[in-house]
Amino acid sequence: MQIEEYNKLSREILDSCITVHREMGPGLLESVYELCLMKEFELRGIKAQNQVELPLFYKGHELQKLFRIDILVDEEIIVELKSAENMIPVYEAQLISYLKLSNKKLGFLINFNVPLLKNGFKRFVNNL
């Protein structure tokens, strides 16, 4: 994927999240925002999967542990959703780990439990 494509898709993801937040407001469960965002992506023709399994590998060996990515957009961008009172560093570490484990370049950490969504939106780049 080219940088222009990442940027275009990033704008669509942000706009979709703002639309969901405007429609639903803060204070709901993460799972509600996930379902609404998946529907918004569908309405916009954005290819996305939710609850994508990510296996754990250690020194080339697959271990019996699966992580779950909240949403994977266009097989390239990881979207991790939260509905938290406070964002804690482990949420950022989780997304950074998912980016590394999946060899993806771009991820978003989105907290819907804020009055203004742009204050709950963080972008992370994995320099492979």
Tens digits of residue pLDDT in 62-96: 999 999 999 999 999 999 999 999 999 999 999 99
Residue 128 pLDDT > 80 = no
| Domain residue limits at 83 | 3-125
Q: How far apart are CA 80 and CA 63, in angstroms?
A: 23
**DSSP designation for 35:** H
pTM, whole model, 2 decimals?
Answer: 0.94
**53 falls in which pLDDT band (50, 70, 90)?**
very high
What domain count does the chain have? 1
Q: Under 8 Å CB-to-CB from 78, ≥6 apart: which residues?
A: 69, 70, 71, 72, 95, 98, 99, 102, 104, 106, 107, 108
